[in-house]
Copies of this chain bind each other. A is one copy, B any other.
Amino acid sequence: MKLTFTGIDNIPMVEPGDDLAGQIVTGLAAMGETLQDNDVLVIAQKIISKAEGRYLDLRTVEPSDEAIRLGAEVDKDPRKVQAILDESNEVVRKRPGVLIVEQKQGFVQANAGIDQSNIPAGDGGPDDLCLLLPVDADASAEQLREALYERAGARVGVIINDSLGRAWRTGTLGLAIGVAGFTALEDHIGGNDIYGRELLVTQVAAADEMSAGASLVMGQTTEKTPVVLVRGYQPREPDDPAQRGVKPLIRPKEMDMFR
- Taking Cβ atoms with an 8 Å cutoff, the residues of A that contact B are 1-7, 9, 93, 95, 98, 100, 107-108, 116-121, 126, 163, 166-175, 184-186, 188, 191, 193-195, 197, 199-200, 202-206, 208-210, 212-217, 219-221, 223-225, 233, 248-251, 256-259
Contacts and interface: CB of A to CB of B under 8 A. Distances in A.
A186 B219 CA distance: 10
Given A117-B197, A194-B221, A209-B213, 20 more contacts: A1-B217, A1-B219, A2-B4, A2-B6, A3-B216, A98-B257, A108-B168, A116-B197, A117-B200, A126-B197, A167-B258, A168-B250, A169-B205, A170-B248, A171-B185, A171-B186, A173-B205, A174-B209, A193-B221, A209-B216
Given A188-B220, A194-B223, A195-B119, A171 B208 contact: yes
10 contacts: A3-B5, A117-B193, A170-B248, A171-B186, A171-B249, A173-B173, A173-B212, A204-B220, A206-B216, A216-B233
A70 to B, nearest CB: 16
A3 B193 CA distance: 29
A257 B165 CA distance: 12
Residue among A197, A209, A250 facing the most chain B CB atoms (10 A cut-off): A209
A57 to B, nearest CB: 16
Contacts of A258: 93, 167-168, 258
A199 B3 contact: no
B259 A167 contact: yes
The 10 closest A-B pairs by CB, nearest first: A213-B213, A171-B205, A167-B258, A212-B212, A108-B168, A167-B167, A209-B212, A3-B5, A93-B257, A1-B7
